[in-house]
């Protein structure tokens, strides 16, 4: 009987970090239940280095050596089930690298697990993450990507059918497990792999802290100055204090903008639903009507007043 590999390929912003931290923290308990969570290719909480190695058009041999080490570890483990997780697998463009992946794991039974969320929600969440990330050069307003048809700069796999068609053409449709993203992703994932490890409700937390629209706009504008990151981090903390996500909306898009984004992918989604036998209601089409908040002059004054009162906090 072949060992089974559950390859979780994301996507981004679908609770991946929380899931991976849970798997990493409970790897010893999982092993006792015959689920092996390899240390090979670990970056932060999961096997991101394995995914990174396949993102190059022509991976170097020393990059692919990780996969050889992984196969060796899988053969030696007494566990019947192996869990590999990285949302970075979603960014593999070259189908030849997906074919390589199947070939190097040909001795095992492979199931691909992927979580999807409505495109407009993903766009909003990824834009939020990229804008507040100091390593990211993202400083354009979100309207730039919508009005100029540049959504692919935020995320290159928004066309879900085209994205998953590559994976299914290599591994077969029956081996692709597609789920709609919900808050209880950890329990859902464990249910998919038939693992009955106990999960306490306290693990369902968002590692990537939410940022309100006004706080995000503050840091976006600061990025244009090309000034010190340290001062920028201080301003970001101030903005999160003055405009906390709990009191200010985190919505960056109006209902109309969300609908406009989702309409671009109606035909792709329809093909996805048909080919993979998903229900038409796979994505919840109910749009939450929240007022789109923008930073105004009074908000800038609030920030200045807070900074002046807490000037000693600035190094």
For residue 313, being part of any structural domain is answered with: no
pTM: 0.92
- Quick: pLDDT tens for 133-166: 988 989 999 999 999 999 999 999 999 999 999 9
For residue 12, being part of any structural domain is answered with: yes
- Quick: pLDDT tens for 200-225: 765 555 556 778 999 999 999 999 99
Q: Which two tokens stand for residue 60?
A: 């170097």
| Positive/negative CA dihedral, 102, 105, 106, 112 | negative
d(CA 127, CA 139): 10
For residue 73, being part of any structural domain is answered with: yes
Number of folded domains in the chain?
1
For residue 102, being part of any structural domain is answered with: yes
For residue 163, how many other CB atoms are within 10 A of its CB? Answer: 22
For residue 129, being part of any structural domain is answered with: no
For residue 289, being part of any structural domain is answered with: no
| Positive/negative CA dihedral, 120, 124, 125, 131 | positive
Q: Is the pLDDT of residue 234 over 60?
A: yes
For residue 226, how many other CB atoms are within 10 A of its CB? Answer: 8
Domain containing 84 equals 4-117+157-203
Distances in Å between the Cα of 226 and the Cα atoms of 182, 223, 296, 315 are: 37, 6, 22, 18
- Quick: pLDDT tens for 43-88: 999 999 999 999 987 776 777 899 999 999 999 999 999 999 999 9
Question: What values do phi and psi take at 8, rounded to 5?
Answer: -90, 115
For residue 311, being part of any structural domain is answered with: no
d(CA 282, CA 142): 26
- 40 with 50: CB under 8 angstroms? yes
For residue 220, being part of any structural domain is answered with: no
d(CA 177, CA 183): 18
- Quick: pLDDT tens for 295-315: 999 999 999 999 888 865 555
């Amino acid at each position: 009987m072949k060992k089974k590999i559950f390859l979780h390929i994301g996507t981004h912003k679908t609770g991946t970090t929380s899931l991976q931290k849970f798997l990493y923290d409970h790897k010893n308990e999982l092993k006792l239940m015959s689920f092996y969570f390899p240390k090979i290719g670990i970056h932060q909480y999961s096997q991101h280095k394995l995914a990174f190695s396949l993102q190059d058009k022509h991976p170097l041999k020393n990059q692919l050596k990780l996969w050889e080490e992984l196969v060796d570890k899988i053969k030696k483990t007494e566990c019947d089930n192996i869990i590999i997780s990285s949302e970075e697998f979603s960014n593999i463009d070259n189908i030849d690298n997906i074919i390589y992946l199947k070939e190097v794991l040909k001795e095992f039974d492979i199931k691909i697990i992927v979580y999807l969320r409505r495109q407009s929600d993903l766009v909003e969440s990824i834009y939020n993450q990229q804008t507040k990330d100091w390593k990211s050069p993202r400083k354009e307003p979100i309207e730039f990507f919508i009005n100029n048809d540049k959504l692919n700069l935020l995320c290159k796999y928004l066309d879900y059918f085209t994205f998953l068609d590559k994976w299914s053409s290599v591994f077969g449709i029956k081996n692709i497990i597609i789920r709609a993203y919900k808050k209880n992703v950890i329990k859902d994932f464990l249910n998919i792999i038939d693992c009955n490890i106990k999960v306490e409700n306290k693990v369902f937390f968002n590692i990537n802290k939410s940022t309100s629209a006004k706080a995000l706009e503050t840091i976006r504008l600061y990025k244009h100055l090309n000034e010190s990151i340290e001062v920028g981090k201080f301003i970001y903390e101030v903005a999160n204090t003055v405009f906390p996500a709990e009191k200010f909306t985190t919505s960056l898009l109006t209902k109309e903008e969300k609908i406009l984004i989702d309409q671009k992918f109606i035909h792709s989604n329809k093909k996805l639903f048909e080919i993979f036998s998903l229900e038409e209601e796979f994505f919840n089409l109910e749009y939450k009507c929240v007022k789109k908040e923008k930073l105004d002059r009074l908000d800038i004054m609030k920030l200045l007043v807070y900074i002046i009162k807490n000037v000693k906090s600035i190094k």
